[in-house]
Amino acid sequence: MSWRLPPLNSVRVFEAAGRLKSFSRAAKELSVTPGAVSRQVKLLEDFVGVRLFERFSREVRLTEAGGRYLQSVSEGLELINAATAHFSERRMESRLRVSSSITVLMRWLIPRLIRFHAAYPGVDVQLSTSLKPIDFRLDDVDIAIRLGGGRWPNARADLLMASRLLPVCSPAFAARHPVTTPEDLAGQTFLHSTVRPNNWQVWLRGVGTPNLTSKRNINFESSSLALQAAAEGMGYAVAPLQFIASDIESGRLVVPYPHAVAESDRFYVVYAEGPIANPILRSLRDWMLEEGEHEDGSLAHLVPSVILHEPYRSSFADEVASVDGKSGSDL
């Protein structure tokens, strides 16, 4: 089909001038000058070969032909607007904004996202890092991963996975400082995340050496940085097992003492309370939870010799019953 379309900008200007019955008011709405409106209308009149407005000294009036043309043009613009809004809304539904800590994103979510993108190739997943408590009424976020007790204000939370802390270091460092008992860690360099400053205390208490002290403590902004320092041979770091499993499998990091300690806080998938209206968001949540369910089996395969300590809770049901409603921290 061969289209004979007028200049679309002129059509837009004509619609505003005809609807408002004024070149000056149309100019104000469109943020242009009245002269620019007049020129665009004249351009359209030349194109269609019909006078659309009667011009007087202080006002303009649609001609009979201009009135009929305005009605048709308005209907056409409404159709274009509705079609554009429909596809824009569909595009917004397929754009998901995910919030979590940098360590969770780098060491757990991003390595798995290729599987989600393979299943949902048209979905645009936007990742952002944050440590603050999530508020879906204010934050521009669709779904989040948070560490805590399972309750956040105005939100729902589904258990994703446990947090099991394990010490690691570089192979060369382990060779220079062999460890057969937790006491062998005394007097060594401990690498800390300032966001999770109690990780070492939790682990040491879990393996029965709460009073053990290090020779030196080096603090980093995140667990990811502390683990990088451990890989460079700076000392021992401690982090959740699922975030270091690939490094252990590749040999980049080794476990000096293979006893993991489960924290009382766990990782949750958090989203706004109420039904999930966006089916793509529901799919992302379900996919995250499936990845979390598979975590235990994969970890047992990758690190079969790790002994798990559960010093805080005898079961998840006990933990849920004791939740105090406070938000947890992030990595």
Q: Do strands 189-193 and 216-220 pair parallel, antiparallel, or not at all (unpaired)?
A: parallel
Each residue of 75-126: pLDDT tens digit? 888 888 776 665 544 444 578 999 999 999 999 999 999 999 998 888 889 9
Give the distance from CA 139 to its chain's centroid: 11
Q: What is the mean pLDDT of residues 155-173?
A: 93
Q: Where do the structural domains in the chain lie, given as residue ranges? A: 8-92, 99-331
pLDDT of residue 79: 82
For the entire predicted model, the pTM comes to: 0.65
pLDDT exceeds cutoff 60 at 31: yes
Q: What is the mean pLDDT of residues 157-163?
A: 92
Spell out the CATH class of 8-92. Answer: mainly alpha
pLDDT of residue 304: 54
φ, ψ (nearest 5 deg) of residue 51? -75, 125
Q: DSSP secondary structure string, 24-83?
A: HHHHHHHTS-HHHHHHHHHHHHHHHTS--EEE-SS-EEE-HHHHHHHHHHHHHHHHHHHH
pLDDT of residue 126: 93
Which CATH number applies to 99-331: 3.90.280.10, 3.40.50.620, 3.50.50.60, 3.40.190.290?
A: 3.40.190.290
Q: What is the mean pLDDT of residues 37-63?
A: 91
Each residue of 127-159: pLDDT tens digit? 999 888 888 877 889 999 999 998 888 899 999
Each residue of 271-313: pLDDT tens digit? 998 888 888 999 999 999 999 887 655 566 655 556 666 544 3
